[in-house]
A and B are shown apart, each in its own frame.
Chain A
Amino acid sequence: MRLRTIAIIVAEPGPGGPDEAAGPGMLASLAGQPVIGHSVAAFEASPLIDEIIVIAAAGVRALLAGRGYRKVSRVLDPGRSRAESVRQALQSLGPAEVNVLIHDARRALVGQRIIEDCVTALRARQAVCTAVPASDTMVAVENELVTLRPARDRLRRRQTPQGFRLSVIRRGYELALADQGAGPAYAGPADDCGIVLRYLPEVTVGLARGSELNFAITRPADIGIAETMLRAELP
């Protein structure tokens, strides 16, 4: 039986907070569509996605309301941290087991192939991270000196969506919260797969293939880069 699959799209303000000057916001125009609209449209178009929950501020809510997305069931207010936002979205779901795909809306050019790969990988795993190869040689540096050289063929750059069985990621967040004892503002491991690996070491986290196109738009120049990539039609 196919599990119901719910996309949670996290539309966080840019790295400098809501200040648009720090980087393009969710409403910045990318190839004629606001940044947030690209992700929502991609998950809306996927036959593998049954429902979409968006976590975003009021401006985005108004924009989405006018676009007639059929699968968007609700738009939740952001919490004080990304972790709080995601935890609230997970709590808003019922007791039935489902798959959730948590996606960062700054990765506006997520496409059908990536969504499909992530959902497919979730059939065999309870947690899946989308990632791309690390194309550069990476080293650790200590006191300005190059020390550790992790094997490049074992390194990946993390992307989203990251997919989970609801029960697994919910439990991960509960344990993370209890561990921190810091209240709802818990800020975490920076990503959801990190929470599973740290708090649920018995769960194997699988991999799904990302894309260079699926990069995070964080700086003003990234809009132009994304538009160029779209024209170049990367796989």
Chain B
Amino acid sequence: MREDECLAAAVVLASGAGVRVGGEVNKVYLPLAGRSMLAWSLRTLAGVPGVGVLVLVVRPQDREQAETIARTELAGCVVEIVHGGVARQDSELMALRHLRPRIAAGQIDVVLMHDAARPLVTRDLAAAVLHTARRSGGAVPGVPRDGLLQVSEDGTVAQADLGTLMAMQTPQGFLAAPLLTAYEQAAADGFIGTDTAACVQRYSDVAVRCIPGDDGNIKITYPHDLVIAVNSLTAAQPSGASAGSPGRKG
């Protein structure tokens, strides 16, 4: 099958509790500049050339709300809703198992894993991740961070300056078949990674390439992040391209 006949699947993970920002409500359902937070990244990913499948992973108790959002805020997009697991990695595995027949049939060649708490992702960034994942096997966006130190077991400083490290963002993109195999193997071993790439690096030979991330692609973690996101989305062009760079610093 030629590359341009294969489709990428974009998986948006919305199955964390995420109640630190908005109290009782799962933060990814909070309204943000006229739509729910998770609808922003779904819409953006739906518009990435080459993405043909959209999967939304939700908690069972949020399903009704997710279906309503898909119907009202994402009209015209086909959103496949999947129930997630307890941890992020379980949720990713559920999405991959849902896609398994199409991965096995060669209809889906790349999977983009995206955190619904990053509503400001741009189409350009997702397209760059997809492009690199197709060529190299794995792609993660990263932004440089200085001023990091390492602590030892007793809670004192072990190393004061780790130099520049890259803070991982999403979407992270991988060739679908080795990704699924890696996740099944990790589940069998009970291994939990901190992000998608951690699992891939442990259970496959796929090279994970770091591409330039976007300081504007913030993760909504604290209440003030919502305001920053609203300001950014309000200032953005109608195309959804992010204006400015609202990223938080250390």
Question: Is there a chain A Cβ closer than 8 Å to B43's Cβ?
Answer: no
Contact A141 B210 (CB under 8 A): yes
Pick the residue among A137, A150, A158, A215 that contacts B160 (CB under 8 A): A158
Pick the residue among B155, B224, B231 that contacts A232 (CB under 8 A): B224
Chain B min CB distance to A132 (Å) = 7
Pick the residue among A144, A159, A189, A198 that contacts B250 (CB under 8 A): A159
Question: Is there a chain A Cβ closer than 8 Å to B236's Cβ?
Answer: no
Pick the residue among B148, B201, B210 that contacts A144 (CB under 8 A): B210
Pick the residue among B140, B156, B197 that contacts A205 (CB under 8 A): B156
- Residues from chain A with a CB closer than 8 A to the CB of B52 are none
Question: Is there a chain A Cβ closer than 8 Å to B166's Cβ?
Answer: yes
Contact A191 B161 (CB under 8 A): yes
Which bracket fits the contact residues of A? Answer: 35 or more
Chain A min CB distance to B45 (Å) = 20
Interface 1/0 per residue, B33-58 and A, CB below 8 Å: 00000000000000000000000000
- Residues from chain A with a CB closer than 8 A to the CB of B119 are none
- Residues from chain B with a CB closer than 8 A to the CB of A207 are 151, 155-157
Interface 1/0 per residue, A20-32 and B, CB below 8 Å: 0000000000000
Pick the residue among B157, B165, B223, B250 that contacts A215 (CB under 8 A): B250
Contact A137 B149 (CB under 8 A): no
Task: List residues of A (205-235) whose CB comes within 8 Å of B's CBs.
Answer: 205-207, 212, 215-216, 218-219, 221-222, 224-225, 228-229, 231-232, 234
Q: Known: A141-B142, A141-B166, A193-B157. Contact between A134 and B148, CB under 8 A? A: yes
Contact A234 B156 (CB under 8 A): no
Pick the residue among B149, B167, B223 that contacts A136 (CB under 8 A): B167
Chain A min CB distance to B115 (Å) = 11
Interface 1/0 per residue, B200-233 and A, CB below 8 Å: 0100000111110000000101111001100100
Contact A234 B244 (CB under 8 A): no
Chain A min CB distance to B221 (Å) = 6
15 residue pairs from A and B, CB less than 8 Å apart: A125-B156, A134-B167, A135-B219, A136-B145, A136-B168, A137-B168, A138-B148, A145-B207, A146-B210, A157-B250, A158-B160, A207-B155, A225-B246, A228-B227, A228-B228
